[in-house]
């Protein structure tokens, strides 16, 4: 059996006091192609308590479709300020709304940055419609969580590479770690101080976490689950049983996220 | 709690994943890392090569290893490659093989009763389970294939593996309600609250612990099942009891 004290603690108790997990890739509410037993904020908090997850940063599923739904996440953060922060979804298919949304952004508490879902919105992260959000994030040093997928024409690691050079103050979180194009994703995270690999779904690939730690270092990896999609214990189990050190596990499961979230923890 | 993995493989794959176990002994070391006691296994050559070659390699590799239980990869008997029904059951007795696997996409055959009727009769008469990955297709794909198989052979004990994490409850729950001999492995049943919701509605006897090693990280299903919100008795059924029951009912 794995000798790690963190593994033992999670196996026995399901959580760890010394490793209170932060989930940097969450959602909220029902969605099109999947049945969720636990979609509400209160359901999610119950899951987070069970799994030792201290905080989650979410974009609502509804806002992925219609960005006017973004405002509802502000209410969720207001009701649960110790458990939720939010991403503001940018939909490049409605470019006239983006300037107005960015003007509203600083006036609403609870949002830490933006969410791009380019594969689903079918618009490349390097396209001009994203520029207002990217320039705002650059000016304020904000995080952007991007859905990224290997060889995608919309959000591949190569396109993240381009953006990271153009916007060095933006903190780019590569959602799903450029799934499938691992070598290139690791290289982009290694080459740019402002790029992180985010593990949602990617953690399930056997051996990929070790490969990321070896190639980019555990300080460049963030934990996420797509909750209410995936049981956090599944992803945490993948991190725990990977052949890495407990120090690496702490970096991935909470320390790196704590550093990114620090400027936003007085909100709410 | 004892973990009995219903879905693991070893061997040198044609296209290697990031991590894999070359030999049965290496697989045992991997299982030790996750605290997995036993596994129902196949050798990758049973899938990547002809089953005639792969089955033989598997039997040699696991000979004398009590923790590993072999599965036989099937082919339609019409080509005669695997011998006759009688020689197949003789081989299963000799090697104590209590489960069959189908790779119809790789081995290019149909899962219809026309192609596999005599093998289906063998499976149902002797309660031998058949294991198939949901990604397999032989013209009809995924859950449609499973529905077709169970409509053709309602008494078949069928274990469907690697259902995928992108939400398939709407596809498999109607089949679970209709077919009492359908079992699912939890290797990719990552849905938050999925196991407890499923068990609350259908009971714990339809889910089996599986890892889908080497493609997927066994740490996920191990921690997820250990802390799923179900009774310990139900947890033990999923971890090992259900699979032991299925294999124990086989009459060789």
Query: Sign of torsion, CA A87 A88 A89 A90?
Result: negative
Does the pTM surpass 0.95? The reply is yes
Which chain A residues have a beta carbon less than 8 Å from that of B33?
Answer: 1-2, 241
A-contacting residues in B 78-117 (Cβ below 8 Å) = none
Tell how many helices (H) and how many strands (E) occur in chain B: 12, 9
Residue of A nearest to B162 (CA): A204
pLDDT at B138 > cutoff 80: no
> Rounded CA gap, B60 and A207, in Å?
28
Burial category of B66 from C-beta neighbours within 10 Å (exposed 0-12, middle 13-18, buried 19 and up): exposed
Q: How confident is the model at residue B167 (pLDDT cuts 50, 70, 90)?
A: confident
> Rounded CA gap, B80 and B64, in Å?
29
* Contacts with B200 (C-beta within 8 Å, 6 or more apart), sequence order: none
Q: Residue B213 has which token pair?
A: 């090693």
Give CA separation, A141 vs A136, A187, A258, B165, in Å: 8, 22, 15, 34
> Rounded CA gap, A128 and B154, in Å?
57
> Rounded CA gap, A46 and A57, in Å?
16
The CATH classification number of A5-264 equals 3.20.20.140
Q: Give the mean pLDDT of B234-248.
A: 98
Q: Residue A174 has which token pair?
A: 């590569």
Q: Residue A244 has which token pair?
A: 């890495």
Q: Residue B204 has which token pair?
A: 């714990």
The verdict on a CB contact (< 8 Å) between B166 and A33 is yes
- Looking at domain B4-248, its CATH class is alpha beta
**How far B195 CA sits from the closest chain A CA (Å)?**
10
Residue of A nearest to B226 (CA): A11
Which chain A residues have a beta carbon less than 8 Å from that of B166?
Answer: 33-34
B222 touches chain A (CB under 8 A): yes
- CB distance A252 to A218 below 8 Å: yes
For the stretch B15-58, pLDDT in tens is 999 999 999 999 999 999 999 999 999 999 999 999 999 999 99
> Rounded CA gap, A172 and A149, in Å?
14
The verdict on a CB contact (< 8 Å) between B192 and A36 is yes
> Rounded CA gap, B23 and A186, in Å?
30
For the stretch B79-102, pLDDT in tens is 999 999 999 999 999 999 999 999
Antiparallel, parallel or unpaired: β B38-43 and B68-70: parallel
Burial category of A147 from C-beta neighbours within 10 Å (exposed 0-12, middle 13-18, buried 19 and up): buried
Q: Which residue has the tokens 């290797």?
A: B187
Q: Which residue has the tokens 């990217």?
A: A134
Q: How many CA atoms lie within 13 A of B123 on its CB side?
A: 26
For the stretch B214-229, pLDDT in tens is 999 999 999 999 999 9
Q: What is the pLDDT of residue A3?
A: 74
- CB distance A19 to A57 below 8 Å: no
For the stretch A190-206, pLDDT in tens is 999 999 999 999 999 99
For the stretch A136-173, pLDDT in tens is 999 999 999 999 999 999 999 999 999 999 999 999 99
Residues of chain A with pLDDT under 70: 1-2, 267-268
**How far B70 CA sits from the closest chain A CA (Å)?**
23
Which chain B residues have a beta carbon less than 8 Å from that of A205?
Answer: 17-18, 215-217
B218 touches chain A (CB under 8 A): yes
Domain ranges of chain B: 4-248
B191 touches chain A (CB under 8 A): yes
For the stretch A74-88, pLDDT in tens is 999 999 999 999 999
The verdict on a CB contact (< 8 Å) between A203 and B193 is no
The verdict on a CB contact (< 8 Å) between B223 and A230 is no
Give the DSSP H/E element, type plus range, for residue A131. Answer: helix A131-140
Residue of A nearest to B30 (CA): A1
**How far A230 CA sits from the closest chain B CA (Å)?**
5
Residues of A with CB under 8 A from a CB of B: 1-2, 10-11, 14, 33-38, 43, 47, 50-51, 182, 201, 203-211, 225, 227-242
> Strand pairing partners for B249?
none
Partner residue opposite A50 with nearest CB, options B188, B215, B227: B227
pLDDT at B1 > cutoff 90: yes
Partner residue opposite A204 with nearest CB, options B32, B194, B216: B216
B34 touches chain A (CB under 8 A): yes
* Residue of A49, A206, A241 to mutate for B, most B C-beta atoms under 10 A: A206
Q: Indicate the SS3 state at residue B179.
A: coil
Q: What is the pLDDT of residue B139?
A: 65
> Rounded CA gap, A138 and A141, in Å?
5
Strand order in the sheet with A53-58: A21-26, A53-58, A84-90, A111-116, A143-149, A171-179, A195-198, A221-222
Q: How confident is the model at residue B164 (pLDDT cuts 50, 70, 90)?
A: confident
The verdict on a CB contact (< 8 Å) between A240 and B219 is yes
* Residue of B18, B36, B187, B219 to mutate for A, most A C-beta atoms under 10 A: B219
């Amino acid at each position: 059996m794995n000798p790690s004290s963190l593994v033992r603690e999670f196996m026995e108790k399901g959580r760890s006091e010394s490793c209170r997990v932060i989930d940097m890739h969450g959602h909220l509410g029902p969605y099109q192609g999947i049945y969720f037993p636990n979609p509400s904020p209160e359901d999610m908090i119950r899951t987070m308590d069970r799994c030792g997850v201290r905080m989650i940063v979410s974009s609502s599923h509804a806002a992925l479709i219609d960005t006017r739904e973004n405002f509802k996440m502000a209410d969720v953060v207001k009701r649960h300020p110790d458990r939720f922060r939010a991403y503001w979804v940018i939909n490049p298919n409605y470019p006239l709304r983006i300037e107005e949304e960015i003007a509203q952004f600083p006036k609403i508490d609870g949002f830490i940055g933006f969410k791009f879902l380019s594969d689903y919105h079918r618009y490349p992260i390097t396209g001009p419609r994203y520029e207002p959000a990217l320039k705002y994030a650059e000016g304020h040093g904000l995080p952007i969580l991007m859905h990224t997928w290997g060889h995608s024409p919309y959000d591949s690691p190569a396109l993240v590479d381009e953006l990271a050079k153009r916007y060095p103050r933006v903190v780019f979180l590569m959602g799903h770690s450029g799934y499938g194009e691992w070598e290139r994703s690791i290289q982009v995270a290694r080459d740019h101080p402002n790029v992180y690999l985010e593990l949602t779904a990617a953690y399930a690939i056997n051996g990929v976490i070790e490969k990321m730690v070896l190639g980019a270092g555990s300080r460049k990896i963030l934990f996420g689950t797509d909750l209410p999609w995936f049981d956090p214990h599944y992803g945490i189990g993948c991190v725990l049983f990977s052949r890495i050190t407990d120090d690496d596990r702490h970096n991935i499961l909470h320390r790196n996220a704590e550093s990114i979230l620090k400027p936003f923890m007085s909100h709410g | 709690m004892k973990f009995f993995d219903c879905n693991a493989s070893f061997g040198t794959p044609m296209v290697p994943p990031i991590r894999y176990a070359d030999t049965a002994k290496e697989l045992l070391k991997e299982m030790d890392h996750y605290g997995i006691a036993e596994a129902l296994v196949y050798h990758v050559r049973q899938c990547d090569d002809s089953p005639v070659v792969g089955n033989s390699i598997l039997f040699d590799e696991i000979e004398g290893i009590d923790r590993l239980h072999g599965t036989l990869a099937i082919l339609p008997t019409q080509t005669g490659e695997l011998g006759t029904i009688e020689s197949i059951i003789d081989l299963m007795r000799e090697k104590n093989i209590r489960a069959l696997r189908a790779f119809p996409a790789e081995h290019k055959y149909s899962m219809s009763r026309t192609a596999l009727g005599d093998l289906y009769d063998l499976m149902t008469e002797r309660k031998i389970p058949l294991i198939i990955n949901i990604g397999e297709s032989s013209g009809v794909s995924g859950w449609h294939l499973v529905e077709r198989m169970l409509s053709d052979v309602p008494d078949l004990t069928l274990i469907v593996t690697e259902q995928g994490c992108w939400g398939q409850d709407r596809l498999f729950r109607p089949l679970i309600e209709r077919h009492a001999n359908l079992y699912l492995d939890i290797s990719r049943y990552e849905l938050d609250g999925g196991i407890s919701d499923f068990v609350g509605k259908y009971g714990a006897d339809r889910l089996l612990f599986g890892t889908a090693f080497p493609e997927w990280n066994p740490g996920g299903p191990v921690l997820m099942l250990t802390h799923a919100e179900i009774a310990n008795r139900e947890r033990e059924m999923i971890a090992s009891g259900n699979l032991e029951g299925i294999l124990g009912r086989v009459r060789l």
